Amino acid sequence: MPALFTVPGIVSGRFLGLILNILIFIVVWIFIRNPKPVHIRRVPGLDAIDEAVGRCAEMGKPFVFSPGIASSFGYWTVAALSVMGHVAKLCVRSGTRFIVPLGGADGVAIVREVAADIVKSAYTLEGRPEDFTMDDLPFLSGQQFAYAGGFVGILQRVRPGATILLGGMAEAMSICEVSNAVGAITISAGSYISNLAVLACASDYILIGEEEPAAGAYLSDNPRQRYSIRVQDYSKWIIIAMVIIGIIFVNMGNPFFKNLLAT
């Protein structure tokens, strides 16, 4: 069916996408210029973090945290680092050893420096900079399953009281199972959707899909992370409205909306 609009210089079928991108840009710009804070609902999985840190402190066991295979500063990595900063502060405050095994890709070596700075800042802000050590942020391997094997070895040696695994991919299954087996409270979130069923079985608490970036935005002091979540909410409402309108037009036998989407 022919497109409803054709614009010179724009590939056929991309016109409506261009309009939506422009609208999203305008909404983001409005949010950035507006100093009013954005409210984000607290994700239930965050309540388990306080419980997990308290358990580690009571039992004198370390807390193990993984931001996943964070080889670049993508959406999931930024969210995981925001959560990590919050957990690090709670652990330092309660005197709990905080371990962050990293690896799975060569690019993680760059993210490791940022993670180390976040953890070091947590120690400094709590008045204990001398307790920080890079040994608690080991780079295990640049290969995915070698990293997973090293992570599992750490869990079996230190037997933590709690483990958080964010942004996990295929290696998350074995890590969560071992964490559960050593008796740790296990909190996970998978950016790899096919893992969710296994993670739900092996974890005590799970953040499903976009709950991880929402948790990162909730705990972050950076308003831009909160703006991004709010803009996503608006985008969902727009898509839902388009689906409903499209169903109505199709059932009325009117091809206008279908032709509009074809642009």
pLDDT digits (tens, 9 = 90+) for 73-91: 777 788 888 889 989 999 9
Q: In this structure, is residue 225 part of a structural domain?
A: no
Q: Are residues 52 and 20 in the same domain?
A: no
Q: In this structure, is residue 7 part of a structural domain?
A: no
What rounded mean pLDDT belongs to the chain?
82
pLDDT digits (tens, 9 = 90+) for 145-199: 899 999 999 999 999 999 998 876 678 888 888 998 999 999 888 766 777 777 8
H helix intervals, the chain? 15-33, 44-59, 75-94, 108-125, 144-158, 172-181, 196-202, 211-219, 223-251, 256-261
Q: In this structure, is residue 5 part of a structural domain?
A: no
pLDDT score for 45:
72
Q: Are residues 198 and 250 in the same domain?
A: no
Residue 263 has pLDDT above 80, yes or no: no
Number of structural domains (the chain) is 2
Q: Are residues 172 and 62 in the same domain?
A: yes
pLDDT score for 9:
56
Q: In this structure, is residue 3 part of a structural domain?
A: no
pLDDT score for 246:
83
The answer to whether the predicted template modeling score (pTM) of the entire model surpasses 0.85 is: no
Q: Are residues 149 and 191 in the same domain?
A: yes
pLDDT digits (tens, 9 = 90+) for 106-158: 888 888 899 999 999 999 999 999 999 999 999 998 888 899 999 999 999 99
Q: Are residues 192 and 79 in the same domain?
A: yes
Q: Are residues 85 and 198 in the same domain?
A: yes
Q: Percent of the chain having pLDDT more than 70?
A: 88
Q: How far apart are CA 211 and CA 166, in angstroms?
A: 11
Q: In this structure, is residue 143 part of a structural domain?
A: yes
Q: Are residues 22 and 151 in the same domain?
A: no
Residue 217 has pLDDT above 80, yes or no: no
Domain encompassing residue 166: 44-219
Q: In this structure, is residue 59 part of a structural domain?
A: yes
Q: Are residues 107 and 151 in the same domain?
A: yes
CATH code: domain of residue 112:
3.40.50
Do the bridges between strand 63-66 and strand 185-190 make them parallel or antiparallel, or are there none, so unpaired?
unpaired
pLDDT score for 191:
66
Q: Are residues 200 and 70 in the same domain?
A: yes
More confident residue, 25 or 37: 25
Q: In this structure, is residue 224 part of a structural domain?
A: no
N-to-C CA span, the chain: 11
pLDDT score for 1:
45
pLDDT score for 59:
93
Do the bridges between strand 205-207 and strand 162-168 make them parallel or antiparallel, or are there none, so unpaired?
unpaired
Give the lowest-confidence range in 1-5, 138-142, 228-232.
1-5
Q: Are residues 58 and 133 in the same domain?
A: yes
Q: In this structure, is residue 98 part of a structural domain?
A: yes
